[in-house]
Structure 1
């Protein structure tokens, strides 16, 4: 594993501030151009659709406290309705953190040294939400060429252990072994098996106590590859505990605040990985729009991989 770089120095080196203009709030999703989306549509051969979102219910991975699993309540069930013609109807509503399950981090989710991505003021995130870089700025859609790197399969394990760091060399090695090229504007998904761990153990506390994930040293690799979005089956993309004692979520700070990368977390790659391994095709059309929460710092998602 290469030496872990200094977070702030690394952030300056890989920064995308100003790349798409001084007022930009979308970051690397600007790389999802119409031409690239059209090319990704050409990857659809069989029409198989794989949902990558986890169920939104009380059996999710949240242990409670800061975040809880969704609570759904019925406001109408039709049982006491007396309407013409026997018509009956039902409605429900939900109470949940926007980051309870499969979700995107907006570019307002993380900041440091008083600034969000692209130099927007950090104090613009208030009790009213984010006045810059909110998830609504991504509502035009997040779609393009998705690539799955199955790290757990490459290591020959059901899931990596908590604290296992994935470095850039391993990303290259797994891509080469799978016979897939990583290109500019790709939506990079990597499987650690952490979703399988949760499905096997059903232990939210163990799931959230730590995780395998990307090393801070991957930031430069992601910048050089010009990755548009990064997603994983764990809850924070990066390895936890972090690699520098006394520091936390350093890769979040570099990717979101400095590079402007939207992160997708707690995805389910179990069925998709089986299909990709069966026919050796590890790229596909990815379609995963966020919900249009004005000024939101995150959004639930149910993205699809279409092959």
Structure 2
């Protein structure tokens, strides 16, 4: 059982890692402001074999314990209407992508804590029926930076961490040391707990009720490193939440306090194998969200290049 955290203790932690007012020119890009041209050049220099590893899950249209709102995919044109050549085939895609099924990016407008978005604006004034006027995903644009995979089950010699198991700062530091993957400023940190290997072998379960992930105690370490992005094969939060009255505390700390967008529901199995084969857990990472003005995030297929 992970350490329980009171609401008062959590609020103190929130204020300790808060980075409001840090980026005045482009506040709704948050921690993505950390990534400079030099960071991009350094990330590109990591490419050696040219191995390309996508991390987006297949578009999931099947209802299940971890997919309460299945994505939509249907054909909107089958080329059966008489028309000049060539025949065309068209389809429609749609998804309520925030949840436990679709690989997606959380923008800064996705989370408010104590009624405030990142940088202190009132959520009720900035997010409405027409979308977000601050922290929308279109403000982020694409990200190219160094990725660091912290493969927690691999470090422990396990296939996966069990649902409900929390990783703390000592676990992250041990993974850094064991994998030779030190986190630096502007990095994108991906944390593998082995969710999709477990799902493939044992079947789906309600990941809202129980999922391995980070304990809030791990967040100050990530804040000290100055990361630009956090992601994982869950949604970064351990579930059940260890914080009284806060259902997604890592989301609140990362997005609303630190201005760090999140990548949720990545399939990290192929990347885990590729990193093990290459003998390194750092790589070029490319994240290109859809350009959705006012969007609170975007479905996404991040790509690692080794």
**Normalising to structure 2: TM-score of the pair?**
0.92
Equivalent position of 1:249 in the other structure: 248
Tell me whether 1:195 sits opposite 2:191 in the alignment: no
1:24 aligns with 2:23: no
Assess if the C-alpha contact under 8 Å between 1:107 and 1:261 holds in 2: yes
Q: 1:37-92: per-residue Cα shift (whole Å, max 9, x none)?
A: 11100000011100000001324766454xx12111111111x23334x5211011
Q: Could you tell me which residue of structure 2 aligns to residue 215 of structure 1?
A: 215
Q: 1:48 to 1:64 in 2, by over 3 A?
A: closer
Query: In structure 2, what is the equivalent of residue 55 of structure 1?
Result: 58
Instruction: State which of 32, 35, 39 in structure 1 corresponds to 2:38.
Output: 35
* 1:80-127 C-alpha deviation (Å, 9 max, x unpaired): 23334x521101111211325100111111112221000122111111
How do 1:36-185 and structure 2 match up within 5 A?
Answer: 36-59=39-62, 63-65=66-68, 68-78=69-79, 80-84=80-84, 86-99=85-98, 100-123=101-124, 124-139=126-141, 141-185=142-186
Q: Partners of 2:189 and 2:292 in 1: how far apart?
A: 24
Superposition deviation, residue 197 in structure 1: 1.8
CA distances 1:255-304 after superposition (whole Å, capped 9, x unpaired): 11111110001001111111211231110000011111111111100010
Q: Judging changes above 3 Å, is the alpha-carbon distance between structure 1 residues 70 and 3 closer, same or farther for their aligned structure 2 residues?
A: closer
Distance 1:229 1:130 in 2: 20
CA distance in 1, matches of 2:36, 2:202: 41
Distance 1:146 1:60, change over 3 A: farther
Structure 1: state its 5+ residue gaps: none
2: CA distance between counterparts of 1:187 and 1:23?
Answer: 19
Seen in structure 2, the aligned counterparts of structure 1 residues 93 and 3 have a Cα distance that, compared at 3 Å, is closer
Aligned residues: 300
Query: CA 1:165/1:63 → structure 2, altered by over 3 Å: closer, same or farther?
Result: closer
Unaligned runs of 5+ in 2: none
| Partner SS for 2:59 | coil
C-alpha contact (below 8 Å) 1:57/1:70 kept by paired residues: yes
What is the alpha-carbon distance in structure 1 between the residues aligned to residue 224 and residue 64 of structure 2? 33
Distance 1:29 1:63, change over 3 A: same
Question: What SS does structure 2 have at the residue aligned with 1:26?
Answer: helix
SS of the residue 1:209 aligns to = coil
By how many angstroms is 1:2 displaced? Answer: 7.5
In structure 2, the CA distance between the partners of 1:64 and 1:57, relative to structure 1 (3 Å rule), is: closer
**Counterpart Cα distance in 1 of 2:62 and 2:49:** 32
Query: How far is 1:155 from its partner?
Result: 2.0
TM-score, length basis structure 1: 0.92
Partner of 1:264: 263
Measured in 2, the distance between the counterparts of 1:233 and 1:26 equals: 23
